[in-house]
Amino acid sequence: MAAVRTGDRPRLIRSDLPPVVCSAARSALPATAEPEPKLHAWKRDEMEPSVFDLGKVRRDAVVTVRLDAMANVRLLTAVNFQAYRRRQYYRMHGGVATAPMFKIHIPANAHWFLVIDVEGLEARPLRPRVSVEPEAAVAARGRTGPR
């Protein structure tokens, strides 16, 4: 297992998930018409989730996310990320980030993905900034949260 060094930047990968059309909009359309969301290009880009491939990260490392607006932050293992992409049941760590800085402790040694989206929230530009600090760097400054 390779540890992520301080200063390493997670790699952003483009998501191929389709935009979500709410059920109320679908029911308002005639049954013969195929629902086609009419979104402006800038709105479509904002609604797509930002997916960061963190790679293999050791237990007790801390992922710090800085956002400009409220968003859902999901930390997923590789298996759960595949289920998320297929819109199946998955398990995650994280939640709704209401503060500009959101920290998540890595619970186990694994390959991790970080997904940031505004599903169910007001669509605003996020401009997420993600960093991963290994456990040694966190321990040197003092623990920031529960183990």
Q: What is the DSSP string of 99-139?
A: SSEEEEE--SSEEEEEEEE-TTS-------EEEEE-HHHHH
Q: How sure is the predictor about 16, in pLDDT bands with cuts at 50, 70 and 90?
A: low
> Is 119 or 47 the better-scoring residue by pLDDT?
119
pLDDT tens-place string over residues 43-91: 444 578 899 999 999 999 999 999 999 999 999 999 999 999 999 999 9
Q: In this structure, which CATH number among 2.60.120, 3.30.1300, 1.10.10, 1.10.3470 belongs to the domain 11-16+40-141?
A: 2.60.120
> Is 24 or 107 the better-scoring residue by pLDDT?
107
Please name which of 84, 85, 71 lies closest in space to residue 116, comparing C-alpha atoms. Answer: 71
Residue spans per domain, the chain: 11-16+40-141
* Helix H or strand E segment including 9: none
Looking at residues 123-133, what average pLDDT do you find? 88
Report whether pLDDT(34) > 60.
no
Looking at residues 123-134, what average pLDDT do you find? 88
Q: Which residue has the tokens 């760590």?
A: 93
Query: What would the two tokens of residue 101 be?
Result: 């800085």
pTM, rounded to two decimals = 0.64
Q: Which residue has the tokens 């200063």?
A: 7
* Helix H or strand E segment including 13: strand 11-13
Compute the mean pLDDT over every residue in the chain, rounded to the nearest whole number: 75
